[in-house]
Structure 1
């Protein structure tokens, strides 16, 4: 089966390798290969012969401009996919994305899902929780030399490799015409995972609970954790940290 993976970042590059290892014919598409989702340039060539398309792209910004980005790029991808006879459109999204309208980027991703559901092609949406790999960048937003400030937001993070495995399974199966949540096995608060991360690298700065700090300060309750029926991965954050340090 031929699959086109749109995007060659953290997820897209791993997904292309995983699908290839499973014996599938994979084409990758990104700006570096001459495919521009904003203009549609190169899409017809990238989708030629593809049965499935996996959209693992990201907006270059996380502000209000991301809404226009997804409106344009998803529209171009669905139109080109229909021309090419694509039979399954898969998108990577975020657990709880439709429950945090205060965040521009989450509203943009919700729009992406809405456009996919209303499009001409059977679809699958894989919503993942926060990636292990993004924990340190998240902490850096609210850190200084003396302390790290984080809200006590509940999260259930997942290794990117486990997200890739779930995406590969969905992409090679029948369209869900719905949503699959994927998450890691353990639930933490964001300040707790901050302490674990600092301890693993020998950083003695304290983590202070500040419910106004950072991007996730706007997130209410436990909306970033998966609901019933989620696919839970087996990689644990503590084990991943130990292997990475």
Structure 2
């Protein structure tokens, strides 16, 4: 199967390698390879002959500009896919994305999903929980030399490797025509994730619960945890930290 992976970041690079290892012909498309989703430049070449496209791109900003980014890039990608005869469009999204209207980036991702659903090509949406690899950067936003401040938002984080496995399975299967949620095996409040992370790094700073701190302060309740029927990944955060 010929598959084009759009994006060469944390997920896209691993996904291209995984699909290649499974025996598929993979094209990796990004700005560095001459593909510009905002202008459409290079898309026709990158999608030539592709049966499946996996969109693992991210907006360069997380503010309201991300809405325009996804509106333009999804439109360009769907149009190029139709010209190329692509039979399956897959996008990576976020668990609970449609239940956090106060975050511009989440509203932008909802738009991305809506445009895909309304497009001309059979589709699949894979919604993942927060990646293990992003826990420390999340903590850094609200840290200083004396303490780390985090809200007690419930999360069910997942290893990026496990997200890649799910994406590869979906990309090589029949279009879902809907959403698959994927999540890690354990639910923790974010402040507890912070304590586990600091302990594993030998950092003795305390974690202070502050429900106004950082990006997840805008998240109500447990909306970022998956519902029934989610695919539960095997890798545990404690094991990953100590691995």
Confirm or deny a common fold (TM above 0.5): yes
Structure 1 equivalent of residue 37 of structure 2: 37
Verify: 1:234 aligned to 2:238, yes or no: no
Verify: 1:180 aligned to 2:143, yes or no: no
Structure 1 equivalent of residue 207 of structure 2: 207
Query: Taking structure 2 as the reference length, what is the TM-score of the superposition?
Result: 1.00
Structure 1 equivalent of residue 13 of structure 2: 13
Structure 2 equivalent of residue 122 of structure 1: 122
Counterpart-to-counterpart distance in 1, 2:134 and 2:126: 18
Q: CA deviation at 1:182?
A: 0.1
1:76-115 correspondence to structure 2 within 5 Å: 76-115=76-115
Deviations 1:76-128 (A, max 9, x none): 00000000000000000000000001000000000000000000000000000
Find the residue that maps to 1:238 and give its secondary structure: helix
In structure 2, list runs of 5 or more residues that go unmatched: none
Counterpart-to-counterpart distance in 1, 2:101 and 2:78: 25
Find the residue that maps to 1:38 and give its secondary structure: coil
In structure 1, list runs of 5 or more residues that go unmatched: none
Structure 2 equivalent of residue 142 of structure 1: 142
Deviations 1:119-160 (A, max 9, x none): 000000000000000000000000000000000000000000
Counterpart-to-counterpart distance in 1, 2:35 and 2:16: 16
Q: CA deviation at 1:199?
A: 0.2
Structure 1 equivalent of residue 74 of structure 2: 74
Structure 2 equivalent of residue 191 of structure 1: 191
Structure 2 equivalent of residue 65 of structure 1: 65
Find the residue that maps to 2:139 and give its secondary structure: helix
Find the residue that maps to 1:174 and give its secondary structure: coil
Find the residue that maps to 1:18 and give its secondary structure: helix
Find the residue that maps to 2:242 and give its secondary structure: helix
Counterpart-to-counterpart distance in 2, 1:126 and 1:239: 24
1:40-55 correspondence to structure 2 within 5 Å: 40-55=40-55
Count, aligned residues: 243
Counterpart-to-counterpart distance in 2, 1:82 and 1:30: 19
Structure 2 equivalent of residue 156 of structure 1: 156
Counterpart-to-counterpart distance in 2, 1:3 and 1:70: 21
